[in-house]
Amino acid sequence: MMKILRFIAIACSFFLVSGFTECYKPVTNSGLPKDIHVIAVPGFQFEAKALRYRVESRFTDAVSREIIRRGNGLKVQGSRVGADAVLEGTIRDFSFSGVLLDSQGRARVYEVTIVTAVTIRDKSNKILYDNQNFTFRDSFEFSSDPRSFFNEEDPAVERMARAFAEAAVSAFVNGLGVKEEKH
């Protein structure tokens, strides 16, 4: 009797565990076509009205690093020559505004908003991926003590560049929004 119960318990465990083998499948393939091995990431363009120091280069660098880190073997270069695809980025808007005032009516917490556009094209100029409205927000705080003042705007832009790069690279590496070819 014990052998039968043990056999039934092992069989039930086996069937229970084997039923969940398809539940988790790690992403191992790129959503981009298989012939894309080298992506050119030329410098992002800056269309925003307000001038900010090195915002476009920070976004370009962040996207390049993220493709290298998560691109499943994709290579990155700055030049379009010899690339299988080109990632074009434009910073369409950059703004920041005070969102929290102190007791004297001075802004202490600011919110930064950056709106970007990203397009990936292959060698034949066919659009593989397009999102014209990536919007990112982050906040930073000014110290109330002037002796410990540190401008948090630059670190906030760095954080947003990394967040943008993670979202953009995840979208096209995992195949979200990648246009399918019709046969």
User: DSSP states of 33-87 as a string?
Assistant: -TT--EEE-PPPEE--SS--TTHHHHHHHHHHHHHHHHSTT-EEES-STT-SEEE
Is residue 127 assigned to a domain?
A: yes
Look at residue 172 and tell me whether its pLDDT is greater than 50.
yes
- The 10s digit of each residue's pLDDT in 22-61 is 444 444 455 677 888 899 999 888 886 555 667 888 889 9
- The 10s digit of each residue's pLDDT in 43-53 is 888 886 555 66
What is the band of 173 on the pLDDT scale with cuts at 50, 70, 90?
Answer: confident
What stretch of H or E contains 57? helix 55-70
Q: Which residues pair with 87 in a beta bridge?
A: 120
Tokens of 136: 């990112």
- The 10s digit of each residue's pLDDT in 89-147 is 998 888 878 777 777 777 778 787 888 888 999 889 998 888 888 887 777 776 666 55
User: What range does the domain containing 160 cover?
Assistant: 31-173
Q: Total structural domains in the chain?
A: 1
- What is the domain-level CATH number for residue 134? 3.30.160.150
| Burial track 49-84 (b if 16+ CB lie within 10 A, e otherwise) | eeebeebbebbbbbbbbbbeebbeebebeeeeeebb
Q: What is the mean pLDDT of residues 70-84?
A: 87
Tokens of 106: 């001075």
Is residue 11 assigned to a domain?
A: no
Is residue 18 assigned to a domain?
A: no
Q: Which amino acid is at 13?
A: S
- The count of other CB atoms within 10 Å of the CB of residue 46 is 19
Is residue 153 assigned to a domain?
A: yes
pLDDT reported for residue 25 = 43
The residues, any chain, with a CB within 8 Å of residue 42's CB and separated by 6 or more, are: 60, 78, 79, 80, 86, 88
